Amino acid sequence: QLMVTQLKNQDPFKPLEPEQFLGQLAQFSTVNGIESMRNSLSGLSASLQGSQVLQGATLVGRSVLAAGQVAQLSDTGTISGALGVPAGASNVQVRVIDAGGGLVRTFSVPANGELSEFSWDGLDSGGTRMPAGQYALEAVAAVGGRQESVEMLLRQRVDSVTIDPAGGALRLNTAGGAI
């Protein structure tokens, strides 16, 4: 429409040169192609997000290992996970800390490979059952005579899945927070 309007209103004494006319036709065609491609990519993106949610929905009710240090202890449950043990580690200790910052219990985890699984039974160092709530876990390993922080992966049950509105990524919602 813009091209036709331009042709109707051009000065008959100064018509467009054929090269200018063809250049403008090519520009209009390019803009139209870019708009069409943008619409196609938007549709593809929406389709991929829908597929991602469907795939994520299969995780609802299952447990996943995710990086973190805070987990939810139920009335009768445990907190479990795995540690990324560095090479050469001889002694790995896990500390359980309550919401008030108090040390609840410390226990050892065998350093038997790159990933060592652990489980805390919910008991303090005196054998008393701790109340349900959130607890922080920290792990350190003795490597070559010095203490190193150890990457912790906590086992968490997936309650639901959503799409992050900011980035469009899949979010797994657990009692310990979103992953």
What DSSP string runs through 119-145? EE-SB-TTSPBPPSEEEEEEEEEEETT
d(CA 139, CA 135): 13
d(CA 99, CA 87): 32
124 exposure class (CB count in 10 Å sphere: 0-12, 13-18, 19+):
middle
Its pTM stands at: 0.62
Measure CA 156 to chain center. 14
pLDDT of 104 reads 94
pLDDT of 112 reads 74
With a cut of 50, which residues of the chain have pLDDT below it? none
pLDDT of 15 reads 66
pLDDT of 129 reads 93
